[in-house]
Amino acid sequence: MAPNPDGLALVPRTPSRRRFLSAGIAGGAVLGLGGLLTACGSSGGSGGSGGATPGSGGASADQKSVKQGGDDYATVIEKMKGFGTDAAPGVYPRTVKHAMGETVIPAKPTRVVVLDTGELDNVVSLGIQPVGIVYTDGSKSLPSYLKDKAGNPANVGTINSLNLEAIAALKPDLILGSQLRAQDQYAQLSKIAPTVFSLRPGYPWKQNFQLNASPFGLEAEAKAQLDAYQAAATAIGTKLGDKRPTVTPLRFMPGRTRLYAELSFIGTILTDVPLPQPKIEQVKELAVEISPEQIDKADADWIFYGVYGTPSSTNQDAVLGGALWKTLGAVKSGQARPVSDETWFLGLGVMAANAVLVDLKGFVAPGT
């Protein structure tokens, strides 16, 4: 079974694990995380130790609601409002509340291991070079947009298969990840070093940035960067005025094709400008899954498409070379463009978000 870069190992597609949109968009499967219910990684227990107390680990209602999508999925940001610390900058030890409970940070961390692309973007944004990182299954190299800032961190596995021995060998003093990705390894990780988990990557990326900044006392810096990002997004919207073109974020993945929706990283960026998406994507979910024969559902004023991994492992070439693709309005007008998957879909942090804004500005609002 192929791993899923958006969160969980993919489960077999049975009717009980899929949900479909009704009138007007029949045939497009809606993916919050309702069809992706198998946690990634090997079983390593849950709960906390080594300075952390158990929080919402295990099979709690909170954990289930984070995975299932729909209304509960959309409330993940509300659930994060109590996360972080009330310690003043520079004050240690400090206690950080997070998805798995509370973790004591005895001193300002200097050796950080990050377990996802969002955490990597976040710490590098704060001027911190991690000592260890995981890679996605689609790429075993540092994201190109971070290469000159991230240093030379060691490889500690992939987002779906952590190498706990490699992590321990680095002697980290902080581990950053998410409950959704690595809940089963939390107990083992927290024995290695103080471990802070968000609920999930992606949609709540701004809240995750603030949480990741809290062990370092850099919440004000994170807020300043988010404010600057929002100002840049607003400037694009102001330039456009009332002429807001529709935008489809299209992604080719092994075995699936997705139109990313409102509760995704890219969906939040489009909302922040704001730039509207076609009606099929205006759902409180991560993405809508379509078949190659339904690629016409992707049509918008602009289509921006990325590919996870190598094009040959997906149906990208077949779709782009097909007759139906050539009938789309965006294709006919030259407004279907390839974009970087590592920023548009995998970055999950403020530096990636700023890179997406640069792309959007160049395409839909040139001259600003």
Domain end call among 159, 185, 220? 220
Domain end call among 168, 200, 220? 220
Report if residue 6 sits inside a domain.
Answer: no
- Structural domain tally of the chain? 2
State whether residue 299 is helix, strand or coil. Answer: coil
Q: What CATH number does residue 244 fall under?
A: 3.40.50.1980
Do 87 and 227 contact (CB within 8 A), yes or no?
A: no
Residues 6+ apart with CB under 8 A from 192: 50, 164, 167, 168, 172, 175
Domain containing 234 equals: 21-33+226-364
Q: How far apart are CA 125 and CA 177, in angstroms?
A: 16
215 and 230 co-located in one domain? no
Report if residue 72 sits inside a domain.
Answer: no
202 and 232 co-located in one domain? no
Domain end call among 162, 193, 220? 220
Report if residue 73 sits inside a domain.
Answer: no
Q: What is the pTM of this model?
A: 0.85
288 and 198 co-located in one domain? no
Report if residue 298 sits inside a domain.
Answer: yes
Report if residue 272 sits inside a domain.
Answer: yes
Query: What is the residue-level pLDDT of the chain in tens, covering all 368 positions?
Result: 344 566 433 333 333 333 333 333 444 676 654 333 223 332 232 233 333 433 333 333 333 333 434 555 668 999 999 999 999 999 999 999 999 999 999 999 999 999 999 999 999 999 999 999 999 988 889 999 999 999 999 999 999 999 999 999 999 999 999 999 999 999 999 999 999 999 999 999 999 999 999 999 999 999 999 999 999 999 999 999 999 999 999 999 999 999 999 999 999 999 999 999 999 999 999 999 999 999 999 999 999 999 999 999 999 999 999 999 999 999 999 999 999 999 999 999 999 999 999 999 999 998 75
> Two tokens at 347?
């970055």
CA dihedral (217, 223, 226, 228) positive or negative: negative
Residue in 94, 77, 100 with CA at minimum distance from that of residue 185: 100
